[in-house]
Structure 1
Amino acid sequence: MFGIGILGVLIYAYTIYDVVSSKFAGNNDKLIWVLIVLFLPLLGTVLWFVIGRKSATKT
């Protein structure tokens, strides 16, 4: 069970890194995505990988 927790934290940290290092078209999009991921960890991570990565480009 402890390994699953570590894996969850690593995925969560990678999601935050991915959001911060992405380039967005709008000015507030990055802030909104960071807040979604921070306040809704599981749902925010899933939404980022399903919806968010399509709207952002890597820098």
Structure 2
Amino acid sequence: MGIEVGGLFGLLLLVADVWAILNIFQSRSSTGGKAVWIVLVLVLPLLGFILWFLLGPRSSS
């Protein structure tokens, strides 16, 4: 009896995670910092995205 994410919410979460990963790549953070954030977003999609949005590295632009 696990929690399943599907449908429209799942699609929105996928788009948000891809957007977060692209922004992590474009940030001025160190390579190690980028790797940690990317792993966090991939392993914990919703929580990782929320944490990245609040605390993560900002883009270079």
**What TM-score do you get using the length of structure 1 for normalisation?**
0.73
| Residue 11 of structure 1: aligned partner | 16
Higher strand residue share: 1
- 1:58 maps to 60
Change (3 A) 1:5 1:27: closer
Q: Any unmatched runs of 5+ in structure 1?
A: none
For 1:36 and 1:5, the matched residues in 2 are separated by: 17
Aligned length: 56
Mapping of 1:12-51 within 5 angstroms? Answer: 12-24=17-29, 26-51=30-55
So what's the TM-score if we normalise by structure 2?
0.71
Q: What's the RMSD between the two structures over aligned residues?
A: 1.9
Shift of 1:2: 3.2
Structure 2 unaligned blocks of 5 or more = 1-5
